[in-house]
Amino acid sequence: MALKFAIIGCGEIGGEILRNLTSIPGSVVRITRRNEKKGREIAAKYNASYFRDNKEAVRGVDVIFLTVRPSDMAGVMEEISEYVNAGQFLISTAAAISIEYMRKFFNENVISRYIPSPLITENGGVGIIAGDIPEKYSSIISGWSKKFHKVEEKDMHLYTILSSSGSAFISAALVNILDKLPCDDKDFCKKIVTDVIETTMSSVKGKGLDECRQIAEFCSTPGGITAEGIGVLNSENAKEIFSSVVSASLEKSLEMQKKFEK
């Protein structure tokens, strides 16, 4: 039986989900997006159907992906709530919006939260999911088994920071390092940084933090220039900065939940 999906707010994250859904034989996908031109373009690219109306898009589908911003969630959920039936499975990618809050709009539905990262999932990384998964849709998850990890919802704030924000943090750190280098040929310096990112990610893919430590040890000679820089990164001042990055993001996530779940 062909499964029918609706992706509400099909932007960057929704587009990555759409790309994955096309791997399911016989799947039928509807999408909505405020920017109609871009919505129609991505729909055509993946053989999906574009809908202007969220309410019409969710009618009669099996699975509904809510991929809108946290600030838009309440409005969208209120808009479609009367058109969602009890048998439909809902998956939200909105950071900081709890399943408990979503049940105010969809009390009879099975609901999950999914943390994706377009940068990670495109390269075979792990998506994170919390909540229940109906047995009849387990094939969707098993089809993406290398991309999903089931967690407790209480930890979703932290996992959002590690997953969705992680790539951005690493990129921002490297850009800051590049900006501080007295490099005349900026284009060539950027190419070096890009090569370093690709090589490092390739080296640690499918492994873990131990591999990262090994790279740090392999690339540094005691008393050398790399070791000197790593010493700064391992200093208490640097650790305080890293801690502040995580704390600021976590506090923001909790603040958003309180703000948008009123």
In a domain, 77, yes or no: yes
At 144 the pLDDT is 53
Q: Both 25 and 132 in a single domain?
A: yes
CATH of the domain at 237: 1.10.3730
Residue 50 contacts residue 22 (beta carbons within 8 Å): no
Q: Both 139 and 47 in a single domain?
A: yes
The rounded distance, in Å, linking the Cα atoms of 88 and 110 is 7
Q: Which has the higher per-residue pLDDT, 244 or 135?
A: 244
The rounded distance, in Å, linking the Cα atoms of 76 and 64 is 12
Question: pLDDT by residue (tens digit) across 142-170?
Answer: 555 456 678 899 988 888 887 767 777 87
Mean pLDDT for 190-205 is: 76
Percentage of the chain lying above the pLDDT 70 cut: 89
CATH of the domain at 143: 3.40.50.720
Q: Both 118 and 171 in a single domain?
A: no
Q: Both 177 and 229 in a single domain?
A: yes
Q: Both 115 and 197 in a single domain?
A: no
Q: Both 134 and 186 in a single domain?
A: no
Of 151, 176, 195, the one marking the end of a domain is 151
Q: Both 57 and 131 in a single domain?
A: yes
In a domain, 160, yes or no: no
Q: Both 140 and 190 in a single domain?
A: no
Weakest mean pLDDT among 60-64, 135-139, 235-239 = 135-139
Residue 80's domain comprises: 4-151
Classify residue 29 as exposed, middle or buried by CB count within 10 Å of its CB (0-12, 13-18, 19+). Answer: buried
Query: How many domains does the structure of the chain reveal?
Result: 2
Beta bridge partners of 7: 31, 65
Q: Both 212 and 97 in a single domain?
A: no
Question: pLDDT by residue (tens digit) across 180-194?
Answer: 878 888 788 888 878
In a domain, 156, yes or no: no
In a domain, 238, yes or no: yes
Q: Both 123 and 170 in a single domain?
A: no
Residue 114 contacts residue 128 (beta carbons within 8 Å): yes
Q: Both 14 and 73 in a single domain?
A: yes
Q: Which has the higher per-residue pLDDT, 17 or 44?
A: 44
Confidence of residue 4 (pLDDT cuts 50, 70, 90): very high
Predicted TM-score of the model (pTM): 0.79
Q: Both 125 and 211 in a single domain?
A: no
At 139 the pLDDT is 64
Residue at token pair 């995580």: 246
Tokens encoding 239: 């650790």
pLDDT over 70 at 118, yes or no? no
